[in-house]
Amino acid sequence: MGYNWNWGVLLQPVATGEGATYLGWILHGLLLTAALTLAAWLLALLVGTAFGILRAWPSRLCDAIGATYVSLFRNVPLIVQFFIWFFVVPEVLPTAIGDWIKSITPSTQVFVVSVLALGFFTGARICEQVRAGIAALPPGQLQAAQALGFRLPQTFRHILLPQCFRRILPPLTSEFLIISKNSAVASTIGLLELSGQARQLVDFTAQPYESFIVVTLAYIGLNIVILRLMEWIQRRIRLPGMMGA
Amino acid sequence: MFALEWDTILAARSIIGAGIAVTLQVTLVAIVGGIAGGTVLAMLAVSGSRPLQLFSKYYVALFRAVPLVMLLLWFFLIVPQILRAVFGLSPSVDIRLVSAMVAFVLLESAFFAEIIRAGIIGLSKGQFHAAAALGMTRYQSMRYIILPQAFRAMLPIMMTQCIVIFQDTSLVYVISLGDFFRNTVSIGERDGTLVPMLLLAGAVYWAICSGLSGLVRFLQNRTAS
Amino acid sequence: MIALKNVSKWYEDFQALHDCSVAVEKGEVVIFCGPSGSGKSTLIKLINGLEDFQKGDILFKGKSIRDRDVRLPEWRRRIGMVFQHFELFPHLSVLGNLTIAQQKVLKRDAAEAEHKAMALLDRVGLRAHAGKYPSQLSGGQQQRVAIARSLSMDPEVMLFDEPTSALDPEMISEVLAVMVELAQEGMTMLCVTHEMGFARQVADRVVFMDAGTIVETAGAEAFFSAPQSDRARDFLGRLLL
Amino acid sequence: MIALKNVSKWYEDFQALHDCSVAVEKGEVVIFCGPSGSGKSTLIKLINGLEDFQKGDILFKGKSIRDRDVRLPEWRRRIGMVFQHFELFPHLSVLGNLTIAQQKVLKRDAAEAEHKAMALLDRVGLRAHAGKYPSQLSGGQQQRVAIARSLSMDPEVMLFDEPTSALDPEMISEVLAVMVELAQEGMTMLCVTHEMGFARQVADRVVFMDAGTIVETAGAEAFFSAPQSDRARDFLGRLLL
Amino acid sequence: PVAASGQNAPLDGTLKKIADDGVVVIGYREASIPFSYYDDAKNPVGYSMDLTAIILDRIKAKLGKPDLQVRKLPITSQNRISLLQNGTIDFECTTTTHNASREQQVDFSNTFFAIGTRLLTRKSTGITDFPDLKGQNVVVGAGTTSEILLRKMNADQGMGMNIISAKDHAESFLMLSTGRAKAMMMDDALLAGERAKTKDASEFIITGTPQSREAYGCMVRKGDAQLKKLLDETLAELQTSGKAVAIYDKWFRSPIPPRGLNLDFALSDDMKALFAAPNDKILN
Ligand SMILES: Nc1ncnc2c1ncn2[C@@H]1O[C@H](COP(=O)(O)OP(=O)(O)OP(=O)(O)O)[C@@H](O)[C@H]1O
Ligand SMILES: Nc1ncnc2c1ncn2[C@@H]1O[C@H](COP(=O)(O)OP(=O)(O)OP(=O)(O)O)[C@@H](O)[C@H]1O
Ligand SMILES: [Mg+2]
Ligand SMILES: [Mg+2]
């Protein structure tokens, strides 16, 4: 088919004269993907837990607020959410703030936006897991805590949430894996994470196969590392006598 | 900046319409192809043959490890000639649409395979034995006894997955395929109305998906009672 | 008709059957009994080729299940089987349960299959329920449908694995009645059951198993009145309590 | 100490309690009994403010639960409660179960809480199990930990809702022994139980409920020897069978 | 008489394939104003498309197939080389810069356009040349020569620019018009096209010293000498006969569809030189 394989291209200095190699770009992309995944997962955990608690809180209003969040963030495609965070949010905020946002270093901007978009999108899924996890606890646990004089926030903090998190740990760690893949959408707003680097390499080297193969392998490697990590965490957090330990 | 210019949207309705057509085509092909491929993979996974089981397992693992964005780019940038050869496409076919469809079918096959496999494993061993005891071959028991039950049990999850697919088709953006979302964005970029157009796109997706999720919940409750 | 020759079977490391041999003649009714976990279900499943085994041989009308030209689906088709938990197909109506294998396996046409199904439903007293779904029937009715389903394939032998043990007491008799009738019509039957009254009534022979071995094989009357082995005596003693 | 005044409670449309009045003095042990669904658990939960009620009033040391300055967590803290299914916190060790509320609610420091916890574990005979998790204990041990957990909050009254009915028979006595000791030390106790031997031993009074109403209140001896109402007689008759 | 010698040689390469299939497939760009972009009816039009049409007529004549089927496929900067290599398209004349790294994979015809890479900015920013970009946000098209040049300049001269890589011209311009970027660097002709799209075109200026001169050529498969020769001859004839200038005036100096805007973009010295002496050289 007339393709000139040239794996050496990966080790060539980049055409932009920035003193890196193309492989270095890919590694940088891998680092960004990992950082983005971790940051977004933490945010998702935070947001998802907060709204999950709202949904489980014995108050119709709180439940409605949580449900609205879930509905909004689950029923709009991720890429649309990325675009809205990136293009719409600075425009609907007061002009001064919007202009300030736009003046931030672009690479920082897209990274932060990516964390927000992925975090809130995944948070909606985690919210539902937290809600279900709390609902699955025996109702006696809430009563037992209250009978000891715990206030509701203390009950959630010390009794319900710790149990809920142990139960939902497997889906929570899967979300980590899902975020690592969804993070590729960040390339659409210009973040040069792994998949963004793959495309940049195609542009600059005219050697599409080499860069795509390397980047795909990087994703598979990342996937395997995360799976191992998930197993490790799940083993660590298991309680004696529970969940088949 | 925020005012939707309805007349420009109206003027662009053919572009938006073409986008919707693409979105629906990709969604439909992904669902039909994904369920077909997923069924085959699930059957391989529960077949007695070790190599087939491994094939199914690694297929699913591979396609679930690679981001959809990468998959779309692979088929669009890297291997369109393979698609052409495999499908015997005429040179004038828009390779982006075919790439998107193939990428989605391959990926969704992996997802549906997991769902259907869970449905099959959820059945008691007795059902397999009962079918076999009547003299049914492996294929016949799958076709007439096991799969109908597995599908029925997994219907809500499969329907939810279909909604996810509908949302995910918007990622064809990365291969410049003009689906509903991309065409909406293009109009916004062209007319300087990106903000309202993005909000419009979000609202349309939200309305459709929350409507469909509501429908799934309704059906679920009805079959449960 | 059916013969097991020194059959041994392992589930991974665990040996479930040790060197079992039984021979069943045409028209005979043989009852298998023994404590839980003794290997009765395993033995029944082996005869129908539903599980693999590692040693020995199983013959049906003189032909080995290991024979190169034996096709398992055909083998199983000729041997009927009734399960403890009925295993009706929940997504098919009663009629559908009775016709599907006739049509797909025996390639009977719809009308013929339906005719046969209705005749069998008549026989087990459930003609009126043909259109219902399994979940709408009582356990006893479901088990009778399951027997009719097996019979629809014109089996030459029938295997029963504790067909009444999942049933409420008041439904046991209606299932046993169908089985008694079958036995009286001359069907060759191998039946795992703890219903000793039924066994007494129809059994030609009783096979007593324990811990994967066949401990004792005897004529029914002899077995119940004077079991040879201690273990069988012990077992019967506890059963009749 | 505790008084219910004409309390009525509805679960949506269903009236679970009709106009119930009881008064319990300091140091009294009052047993609640009655058939299933008669409202015993509901009544106990109301006293602890775990459920809302629509009519009447509940007083604790003369103060109404409806009072504006009553804070429910504090109210509940002062009233101990033991549940049928123990409700230990499975993610915490036995020691953790006993210290967490002391630290978070009573703001005791870790050392003090642990000291108290160990003393209580000693008292229920489980000092050696402090480091285990609830799932590693037997039911009887779990319930004794639950009692110790309640006591760790220095309650002025203890409520028990069928504390032994989820236990295997051989474990009931070890839990009852702890409760008898408590009663003898002068703890005010309200206890739902069907253990009539225990009731006879410790009860000052027995309250008999049926269908959401208090049918009879009597001294323990009087109740067991000569119940006034037909329903109580009937209930006792069936219980002693 | 020039063409006659060609007609005698046996067909090979792409021309043979076209003759065999009875179909020729060309690539076009969807939004490169005024070279190749959609008119109101979603047909690709533009300067490059006019040249392509003339080339296609030549091919039909050469093959003696006036009814040769023509199919048009939209391409992007990312897939154009792949699609050409794998035979999806037969050639493309759009806006592809002829450079050395691409020569590894494909062959280029005679140059049909020459551009300089410059800046588009709002007049109000006061930016007039590249040194003014110090510490500013600047947008370029991802994978373009401009991106390479700008990043190089940034690294070499420590200018502290924040460089945004946008995936296409439209997105680049969006960054500029929404204020995310102070300036946009690209091929000057394309800058003129982007500027012409907007309603407040007068607020924007094209400015700055050209950082590079680039030659657009048609891409053909590597080693396909016969097709390249046909393209070279066709383009040279257009350029020397003055027809090319007429086409240039049509797209760069007159109102163009869909909105009747005039780019008002004068013929550059490079273009004049090119039309005087057609060649297939890489500009520096
Ligand atoms: N699939 C299996 N894998 C591993 N061990 C098995 C399997 N099936 C049965 N066994 C073991 O083989 C032994 C015999 O089992 P089998 O079901 O044949 O006993 P049974 O006589 O039918 O008992 P029951 O009266 O309880 O039905 C038992 O110890 C059982 O645990
Ligand atoms: N959360 C609830 N919602 C609706 N009805 C309830 C609820 N809890 C209890 N009930 C009803 O209130 C009535 C009294 O229940 P309660 O649990 O107090 O009975 P009990 O005397 O403790 O019975 P048991 O001996 O079975 O524990 C029952 O009919 C029960 O069905
Ligand atoms: Mg069995
Ligand atoms: Mg109760």
D residues 53-92 closer than 8 Å to A (CB):
72-74, 76-81, 83, 85, 87-91
Confidence of residue B1 (pLDDT cuts 50, 70, 90): very low
CA distance E164 to A108: 11
Question: What's the pLDDT score for residue A230?
Answer: 84
Mean pLDDT computed over A90-108: 88
C42 Cα to the center of ligand 1, angstroms: 6
Closest residue in C to B129 (Cα–Cα): C50
Question: What's the pLDDT score for residue C114?
Answer: 95
Atom of ligand 1 minimally distant from the CA of C35: 25
pLDDT at residue E8 greater than cutoff 90:
no
Question: What's the pLDDT score for residue B63?
Answer: 93
Percentage of chain E exceeding pLDDT 90: 50
> By the CB < 8 Å criterion, does B135 face chain C?
yes
pLDDT digits 0-9 by tens, C156-179: 999 999 998 888 888 888 899 999
Question: What's the pLDDT score for residue A1?
Answer: 47
Q: Which residues contact D20 (CB under 8 A, 6 or more apart)?
A: D4, D6, D7, D8, D39, D43, D56, D209, D212, D213, D214
Cα dihedral across residues C146, C151, C153, C156: positive or negative: positive
Q: What's the pTM?
A: 0.84
Question: What's the pLDDT score for residue A10?
Answer: 84
Question: What's the pLDDT score for residue B91?
Answer: 62
> How many residues appear in chain D?
241
Q: B182-196, C118-132, E20-34: which range is least confident on average?
A: B182-196
Question: What's the pLDDT score for residue D224?
Answer: 85
Amino acid at C210: D
Q: Per DSSP, what are the bridge partners of residue C209?
A: C214
Q: Which segments of D196-238 are extended strands (E)?
A: 205-210, 213-219
Contact at CB, A77 and B68, closer than 8 angstroms: no
Mean pLDDT computed over A226-241: 79
CATH number, domain containing residue B84: 1.10.3720.10
Mean pLDDT computed over E148-166: 89
Question: What's the pLDDT score for residue E3?
Answer: 45
> By the CB < 8 Å criterion, does D229 face chain A?
no
Instruction: Evaluate whether chains A and C are touching (3 or more beta carbon pairs less than 8 Å apart).
Output: no
Number of domains in chain B: 1
Mean pLDDT computed over B74-103: 79
Contact at CB, A198 and B73, closer than 8 angstroms: yes
Mean pLDDT computed over E207-230: 93
Q: From the CB of D14, is ligand 2 less than 6 Å away? A: yes
C37 Cα to the center of ligand 3, angstroms: 7
> By the CB < 8 Å criterion, does A43 face chain D?
no
Q: A198-207, C136-145, D175-184: which range is least confident on average?
A: A198-207
> By the CB < 8 Å criterion, does B140 face chain C?
yes
pLDDT at residue A102 greater than cutoff 80:
yes
Q: From the CB of D40, is ligand 2 less than 6 Å away? A: yes
D87 Cα to the center of ligand 4, angstroms: 14
Question: What's the pLDDT score for residue B214?
Answer: 93
pLDDT at residue E1 greater than cutoff 50:
no
Looking only at the bridges linking them, the beta strands covering D63-64 and C157-161 are unpaired
Confidence of residue E26 (pLDDT cuts 50, 70, 90): very high
First to last CA, chain A: 55
Mutate to test the interface with E, among A85, A203, A205 (most CBs of E within 10 A): A203
CA distance B103 to B98: 8
Mean pLDDT computed over C131-155: 93
B125 Cα to the center of ligand 3, angstroms: 14
Contact at CB, D87 and A241, closer than 8 angstroms: no
Mean pLDDT computed over E160-172: 85
Mean pLDDT computed over E11-30: 89
- What is the full per-residue pLDDT of chain D (241 aa) written as tens digits? 899 999 999 998 899 999 999 999 999 999 999 888 899 999 999 999 999 999 999 999 989 999 999 999 999 999 999 999 999 999 999 999 999 999 999 999 999 999 999 999 999 999 999 999 999 999 999 999 999 999 999 999 999 999 998 888 888 888 999 999 999 999 999 999 988 888 888 999 999 999 999 999 998 888 888 888 888 888 888 776 5
Mean pLDDT computed over E92-111: 90
Residue with the two structure tokens 């760790």: D152
Mutate to test the interface with B, among E21, E24, E37, E78 (most CBs of B within 10 A): E78
pLDDT digits 0-9 by tens, C84-140: 999 999 999 999 999 999 999 999 999 999 999 999 999 999 999 999 999 999 999
Question: What's the pLDDT score for residue C143?
Answer: 93
pLDDT at residue C41 greater than cutoff 70:
yes
A residues 182-201 closer than 8 Å to E (CB):
188, 190, 192, 199-200
Q: What ipTM score was computed for the predicted complex, to two decimals?
A: 0.82
C57 φ, ψ (degrees, to nearest 5): -150, 155
C173 Cα to the center of ligand 3, angstroms: 20
| pLDDT: which is higher, E145 or A154 | A154
| pLDDT: which is higher, A13 or C127 | C127
Atom of ligand 2 minimally distant from the CA of D39: 18
Q: From the CB of C150, is ligand 1 less than 6 Å away? A: no
| pLDDT: which is higher, E41 or A221 | A221
What domains sit in chain A, N to C, each tagged with a CATH number? 16-237 (1.10.3720.10)
Question: What's the pLDDT score for residue E2?
Answer: 42
Residue B40 domain boundaries: 2-224
**DSSP helix, strand, coil percent of chain D (3-state; round to 5):** 40, 25, 35
Under DSSP, the state recorded for C228 is: S
Percentage of chain A exceeding pLDDT 90: 60
Q: From the CB of C219, is ligand 1 less than 6 Å away? A: no
CA distance E203 to B59: 55
Question: What's the pLDDT score for residue D234?
Answer: 87
Q: B78-87, C231-240, D109-118, E152-161: which range is least confident on average?
A: B78-87
pLDDT at residue C228 greater than cutoff 80:
yes
A residues 123-142 closer than 8 Å to D (CB):
138, 140-141
Q: Could you tell me the CA-to-CA distances from B58 to A71, B44, B113, B117 in Å, in that order?
A: 34, 12, 12, 14
Mean pLDDT computed over E5-20: 78
Partner residue opposite C50 with nearest CB, options B132, B149, B152: B132
pLDDT at residue E233 greater than cutoff 70:
yes
Question: In the numeric block, which tokens belong to residue C55?
Answer: 């040693």
Question: What's the pLDDT score for residue D114?
Answer: 95
Contact at CB, C150 and B134, closer than 8 angstroms: yes
Cα dihedral across residues D10, D14, D20, D26: positive or negative: negative
D88 Cα to the center of ligand 2, angstroms: 22
Q: Per DSSP, what are the bridge partners of residue C192?
A: C32, C161
Contact at CB, E170 and B192, closer than 8 angstroms: no
Contact at CB, B70 and A1, closer than 8 angstroms: no
Secondary structure, 3-state, chain E: CHHHHHHHCCCCHHHHHHHHHCEEEEEECCEECCCEEECCCCCEECHHHHHHHHHHHHHHHHHCCCCCEEEEEECCCCCHHHHHHCCCCCEECCCCECCHHHHCCEEEEEEEEEEEEEEEEEHHHCCCCHHHHCCCEEEEECCCHHHHHHHHHHHHHCCCCEEEEECCHHHHHHHHHCCCCCEEEEEHHHHHHHHHHCCCHHHEEEECCCCCEEEEEEEEECCCHHHHHHHHHHHHHHHHHCHHHHHHHHHHCCEECCCCEECCCCCCHHHHHHHHCCCCCCCC
